[in-house]
Structure 1
Amino acid sequence: MFKPYVTAVVLVGTAVPSLLQFAVPGLEAAWMRDPAAISGGEWWRLGTALVVQDGGVFGTLFNLAFLAVLGYVAERALGPGRWLLLYVSGAVAGEAAGYLMNDPGAGNSVALCGLAGGLAVAAAGPLERSLGAFYAVLSGAWTLSASGTVGVVLMVVLAGAGFQLVAHRDRVPAPLFPAVAAAAAVVLCALLDLHGFALLAGVLAGWALKAAGARTAPAASA
């Protein structure tokens, strides 16, 4: 029976401080990504920013829920080693982009973007690929929510369209999943949204994993 040990460990390690921040005043501020503080020597914030959340209760539960779902399917499909590679690639790219663009914040969504981008490209099954593409669309849709009522309406429409990738995954051409993830990454990068850089890192890491698998497959079957 498959047991997602890596997902469980990361989920607990993220959930405890993420929930604790609501009971401990100042925890989020002390651990968040603060470019000025990082430049002043508090480099560890680049890591602790991944285990506290700046999206309130809803954003916290959203990120934890997707960590459980994406984490489980990614670990089952790709294994713990490749899971960590994708998660870390999104985290590093997203946190670096946030620091370089002087964008303070917190949350593990950038790491999830790495998982999602990698799943959309490297996973073999349509469920895993469609979930990766769906999360990539959600990352773009969430950005629109800050644009007022029109933005919220567009976010809902875009999220609904992204869900169709999952609902009709068996009828969607396989190349569309990585194409959607890559397109979302490019658009978000153009908007200077750090999630775009995290998604792009996941997509590139996924392509590298897929290419490495294709090279080793003939040798394994020989």
Structure 2
Amino acid sequence: MEALVFNLTTAALLVVMFKAGVALVGPDTVQQRRIPWFAVGLTVVAIAGVVLQLCWGGAMDALDSDPSKAGWWRVLTSVFMQNGGVFGTAYNLATIAVIAALAEWFWGGWLMLALFLAGDLLPQTIGSLFGETASTDPRNFAGSSGSTYFLAATLAGALLLRNRGRGSVLLALAVPALGLAMWFAQENGHGLVSVYGFVLGLIVWALGRRVIRPDRDLTQAPRTTVGTLTAVVRKR
């Protein structure tokens, strides 16, 4: 029962952050936006990691982030190792694709990747400063969920500052509120990394709002958009 509640609250937090991301980019603008190629590339790398695990039985031992093992690369490669079984792996791949697309449309491709990387490096750095144990890491030495939740939370932070109405403010504030509640009630690391991501989203948007162009696809429509791609797929 405890595991079920843990999984439900973890999924609920992502739903809230997804809604915040959609509200941020504008639900009616998705069809007009360019194909999020950086998000596509990130998802392909994540899928390649799963394929590697299926083909090589020693992939997890060589590439996870177990602190008892040596290897500078582990902090990076462990993000693309999955250890949640079939359902958990499918969930992680689907969520990284959707969240990365929303984040790319708002932050831009390179900044999205930088924030995803921050979601891998920053939580464990903060945790080590305060003496947190490895059990607080939502990835448990492997998996992309920690970085995905962090990235999704940056969108909620930006949504709060953009202030698109009372509903959007409440939606944005629900992310750190739910994240903290999950951390204190369950020691659910997904909640804690979401708080970190929310704060970083606030900082990045506050400092970079003059150069970040989240509506660039609407002012200069790209040749290939989500709408045109969808139309081609439907014709086939």
Normalised TM-score (structure 1): 0.66
Mapped to 1, the partners of 2:68 and 2:189 lie a distance apart of 17
In the alignment, does 2:56 pair up with 1:27? no
Give the RMSD, CA atoms, in angstroms. Answer: 3.0
The CA deviation string for residues 146-199 of structure 1, in whole angstroms up to 9 with x for no partner, is xxxxxxxxxxxxxxxxxxxxxxxx997111122111113323443443323321
Per the alignment, in what secondary structure is the counterpart of residue 174 of structure 1?
Answer: helix
Match of 1:113 among 149, 172, 178: 149
Moved more, 86-95 or 173-182: 86-95
1:136 corresponds to which residue? Answer: none
Contact 1:21/1:52, CA 8 A, preserved across alignment? yes
**Aligned positions, number:** 171
Aligned counterparts of 1:102 and 1:93: Cα–Cα separation in 2: 14
Change (3 A) 1:92 1:197: farther
Shift of 1:111: 0.7
Equivalent in 96, 99, 120 of residue 70 of structure 1: 99
| Preserved contact between residue 51 and residue 107 of structure 1 (Cα < 8 Å) | yes
Residue 166 of structure 1 corresponds to which residue in structure 2?
none
CA distance in structure 1 between the partners assigned to 2:180 and 2:119 by the alignment: 14
Bigger relative contact order, structure 1 or 2 (CA pairs below 8 A, ≥6 apart): 2
Cα separation, 2, equivalents of 1:8 and 1:215: 27
Q: Could you tell me how far apart the structure 2 residues matched to 1:121 and 1:216 are?
A: 17
Give the 5 Å matches for 1:178-197.
178-190=172-184, 191-197=186-192
CA distance in 2, matches of 1:206, 1:67: 17
Task: Tell me: CA distance 1:122–1:42, structure 2 relative to 1, closer, same or farther (3 Å).
Answer: same
Tell me, in whole angstroms, the C-alpha distance in 2 between the residues paired with 1:16 and 1:107. Answer: 13
User: What amino acid maps onto 1:205 in structure 2?
Assistant: L
Matched, 1:51 2:80: yes
* Distance in 2 separating the partners of 1:91 and 1:197: 13
8 Å contact 1:17–1:51 — kept in the other structure? Answer: yes
TM-score (normalised: structure 2): 0.62
- Residues in 2 aligned to 1:171 and 1:122: alpha-carbon distance in whole angstroms: 13
What letter corresponds to residue 184 of structure 1 in structure 2? Answer: L
In the TM superposition, 1:6-25 aligns within 5 A as 6-25=38-57
Moved more, 98-107 or 9-18: 98-107
Q: 1:210 to 1:196 in 2, by over 3 A?
A: same
Give the Å deviation of 1:92. Answer: 1.3
Matching residue of 1:36: 68
Give per-residue Cα distances to partners, 1:107-137, cap 9 Å, x unaligned: 011110121101112149x9xx9xxxxxxxx
Secondary structure of the 1:25 match is coil
> 1:154-165 counterparts in 2 under 5 A?
none
Question: Partner of 1:36: helix, strand, or coil?
Answer: coil
Stretch moving more, 170-179 or 101-110: 170-179
Q: 1:176 aligns with which of 170, 175, 179?
A: 170
Q: Distance in 1 between matches of 2:102 and 2:134?
A: 33
Q: 1:106: how far off?
A: 0.7
Residues of 2 paired with 1:67 and 1:113: CA distance? 9
2:197 to 202, 207, 219: 202
8 A contact 2:159–2:172 mirrored in 1: no
| Structure 1 residue 214: Cα displacement | 5.2
Q: Say whether the 8 Å CA contact 1:90–1:199 is kept in structure 2.
A: no
The sequence identity of aligned pairs, in percent, is 27
CA contact (8 A) 1:6 1:80 kept: yes
The runs of 4+ residues in structure 1 deviating greater than 4 Å are 213-217
